[in-house]
Amino acid sequence: MVENRPFLTILTHLVLVLGVLIIAFPVYVALIASTHDEATLNMAAPLLPGGHLWDNLVTVWTYDPPGLPPFWTMVWNSTMMAFIIMVGKVVISIISAYAIVYFKFPFRVLAFWLIFVTLMLPVEVRIIPTYEVVANLGLLNSYAGLTIPLIASATATFLFRQFFMTVPDELMEAARVDGAGPIKFFIDILLPLSRTNIAALCIILFIYGWVQYLWPLLVTTREEHFTLMMGVKQMAGAQEVDPQWNLIITAAVLAMLPPVLIVIFMQRLFVKGLVDTEK
């Protein structure tokens, strides 16, 4: 039984509003700062919008400081990295989960647990040996070096496996009676059933690839492969004497936009994929 007291309702909403304000305030400050010029930001942190947003956006997009590639190049590199990681993780994970659930082969349970155990190893623990392998293969300063070490996902494999295990066996038997082989069953039945799960994972994995900072910092030394996260950090570091905070914050706001827009426009599929199996 749920208590319905006005006081508890008001208290709950106050706590929620306070939480939203705490989370949203730094984002609000960044958005406001991106609308002011350098002189205003050097005096104080404004809390009301200014009139220099367009000027800042144009300057950032045409910004080409020494030691950094053009801004659009960093956007392209981040987009490519996030897209390759997203597609690679989903494809590898769904095929791995399909093999583990629907094919009978020796040590398949052991194979799953070996994949699952990698969840216990954070990137920071295996980053040095991974870098050594990438360097020995000559993949430094390349999209392959940026993406391949991050392209497998134990979490996505686990989630797809759990979803496939909820698909009734009768569906597979019916497909088999109709003459569908493993590939046809996978493409015509499992993939359509998994579309909301795939959509939700695509959003999560794209953001995962987009916000990568440490790994690109290790494997890229040439400007043409710098990602946006590296660029924003180095824009601040390169201007220690007289940092142009209006440009740095505008670049940070632009870096934040793609994940936000993807979540907003795919919100329905994202929520459905996390809470609904749609069978």
The per-residue pLDDT string of the chain (279 residues; one tens digit each, 9 = 90 and over) reads 556 677 888 888 999 999 999 999 999 988 998 888 888 887 877 888 888 888 888 888 887 777 778 888 889 999 999 999 999 999 999 999 999 888 888 888 888 888 888 877 777 788 888 899 999 998 888 899 999 988 888 888 888 888 888 888 888 888 888 888 888 888 988 888 888 888 888 888 999 999 988 899 889 888 888 888 888 888 776 655 567 888 888 988 988 888 888 888 887 777 776 666 544
Total residues found in the chain within this entry: 279
Distances in Å between the Cα of 43 and the Cα atoms of 1, 33, 40, 46, 187 are 55, 12, 5, 9, 60
Region label for 36, one of left (φ > 0), alpha (ψ between -120 and 50) or beta (otherwise): beta
Closest CA to 165 of 154, 155, 157: 157
Query: Among residues 90, 97, 123, which one has the least CA distance to residue 111?
Result: 97
The pTM of the full predicted model, rounded to 2 decimals, is 0.83
Do residues 132 and 144 make contact, with C-beta atoms less than 8 angstroms apart?
A: no
